[in-house]
Amino acid sequence: MINLSRKKILVTGGAGFLGSHVVENLVAKRGVDSRNIVVPRLEDCDLRLEANCKRVLEGIHIVIHLAAKVGGIGFNRQFPGEIFFDNIMMGVPLMDLARRMGVEKFVGIGTICEYPKSPPVPFKEEDLWVGYPEETNAPYGLAKKMLLVQAQSYRAQYGFNAIHLLPVNLYGPRDNFDPKSSHVIPALIKKIGEAKREGKDHIEIWGTGNATREFLYVEDAAEGIVLATEQYDKADPVNLGSGMEISIKDAVRLISAFMSYEGKIMWNKAMPDGQPRRVLDTERAEKEFGFRARTRFEEGLKNAIRWYEEEVASA
């Protein structure tokens, strides 16, 4: 087990939604001095450029690579080329340089979008390669999947300690509520919140509402990532999830109830649902490093709504 309090840690994407919670976890729960956590900022450190990667890796013991270009279905359909290129170029050179510069461990954060469109449910890690990803997610999922291939290849040839984690859809405080790039939970919260403030008697949502998703509270995800950083040193990828499954239709009903919105929900069935079902088998994470999600979906959802209303809507 790695004592993180004695390490200098690079957290790419550390100023973002998930990254900020990972940094907080490292400081508050693992005793890492904040001065020993390096968080590159996009505006002055484009990680697609090798020179920037080399600069932020100086003196680093551990890399937690969270930085990603990612969004919801609409964003994925509009920018598939950028999503593929940027995620490949932020990850592959960074891992290669980390190996060459003597970094002790590289923690790669993948995505559930790496899975095939319709694998057996619940998704098991060994089924990652049984088919092609859902089309709207494929550029993102495959770019991230290449980091798994790279990690396994570098472990086999160089003995480099690189691991790969597969978190399910995240939600919680500090999420991205930009409608152009947000994921399903923040997008729904924002849409319902605005409809309520504007007195709209209905909202329109893409798809049929029948697709299902599993959601993991962001603080639980951060704990899982840090536990794996401390304890997991194997080539096999590991799911990080909560084990719950809910339809988009039921999630909308729940958010509407929590936000006291009584308008009609209209489903635009001409638009895509995305992957039909998403729910993970989480046994490997619990067996290998003792991770189990603790936050009930309803509790986490209320926290996310409260943060939106206090920090986003009020502004």
Nearby residues of 69 by Cβ (< 8 Å), 6 or more positions away:
79, 82, 83, 86, 87, 90, 140
pLDDT confidence of residue 236: 98
pLDDT confidence of residue 72: 79
Checking if the pLDDT of 227 tops 80, the result is yes
How high is the mean pLDDT of the chain?
A: 95
DSSP H or E stretch at residue 257: helix 248-258
Phi then psi for 104, rounded to 5 degrees?
-75, -35
pLDDT tens figures, 1-20: 999 999 999 999 999 999 99
Average pLDDT over residues 221-250: 97
CA 141 to chain CA centroid, Å, is 11
**Could you state, in order of their start, the residue ranges of all structural domains in the chain?**
4-171+215-243+278-295
C-beta separation of 188 from 253 below 8 A: no
DSSP H or E stretch at residue 10: strand 9-12
pLDDT tens figures, 61-80: 999 999 999 887 888 899 99
Do the bridges between strand 202-206 and strand 9-12 make them parallel or antiparallel, or are there none, so unpaired? unpaired
Of the pLDDT bands very low, low, confident and very high (cuts 50, 70, 90), residue 84 is very high
Average pLDDT over residues 195-220: 95
Binding-site residues for substrate sit at 191, 206, 213, 273
Of the pLDDT bands very low, low, confident and very high (cuts 50, 70, 90), residue 268 is very high
Which residue has better confidence, 181 or 305?
Answer: 305
Average pLDDT over residues 230-251: 97
pLDDT confidence of residue 198: 94
Pick the CATH number of 4-171+215-243+278-295 from 3.60.15.10, 3.40.50.720, 3.90.79.10, 1.25.40.10: 3.40.50.720
pLDDT tens figures, 176-190: 998 778 889 999 999
Checking if the pLDDT of 315 tops 80, the result is no
End-to-end CA distance of the chain: 43
Checking if the pLDDT of 210 tops 90, the result is yes
Which residues are paired to 11 by β-bridges?
64
DSSP secondary structure, 188-220, as one string: HHHHHHHHHHHT-SEEEEES-S--EE-EEEHHH
Q: Which residues of 216-248 are buried (b: 16+ CB within 10 A; e: fewer)?
A: bbbbbbbbbbbbbbbebeeeebbbbbbbbbeeb
pLDDT tens figures, 100-137: 999 999 999 999 999 999 899 999 999 999 999 999 89
Of the pLDDT bands very low, low, confident and very high (cuts 50, 70, 90), residue 275 is confident
pLDDT confidence of residue 73: 80
Average pLDDT over residues 74-94: 94
CA nearest to 195, candidates 115, 313, 108: 313
Name the residues annotated as catalytic. Answer: 140
Binding-site residues sit at 13-19, 144, 167-170, 183, 191, 206, 213, 273
pLDDT confidence of residue 183: 86
Binding-site residues for NADP(+) sit at 13-19, 144, 167-170, 183
